[in-house]
Amino acid sequence: MTALSPNGPDEPAPPAGLSDRDRAVLAVERRSWAGPGAKERAIREQLGISPTRYYQLLNALLDDRRALEEDPVTVNRLRRVREARRDRR
């Protein structure tokens, strides 16, 4: 079953916004971290996922326009970091 668009029955509904988990991933990236391991510990405790899975989700979010709309400052900063790492390879 598909949702109807507010623009009429012939147009598809816009995609839903980010999930709570996606918002939580972006929230972790907005924070600054005091020392080594603090971020990874927070990922496990707050999100209940491994750091490896976290970075997989984060990388996918950087290519999701909904994430850009939700938090453009964080997403654009992380995109620049990702591009810089790619350029160094």
Q: What is the pLDDT of residue 36?
A: 83
pLDDT at 13 (0 to 100): 47
pTM: 0.76
Q: Which residue has the higher pLDDT, 9 or 16?
A: 16
Listed residue (20, 22, 9, 28) closest to 68, CA to CA: 22
- Provide the 10 A C-beta neighbour count for residue 59: 11
Going from the C-alpha of 63 to that of each of 5, 11, 16, 37, the distances in angstroms are 24, 24, 16, 26
**Residue-range domain boundaries for the chain:** 18-88
What's the rounded Cα separation, in Å, for the pair 75 and 69?
A: 9
C-alpha count within 13 angstroms, C-beta hemisphere, residue 31: 13
pLDDT of residue 69: 95
Residue of 74, 80, 79, 51 whose CA lies nearest to 63: 79
Q: Which of 4-13, 35-44, 58-67 has the lowest mean pLDDT?
A: 4-13
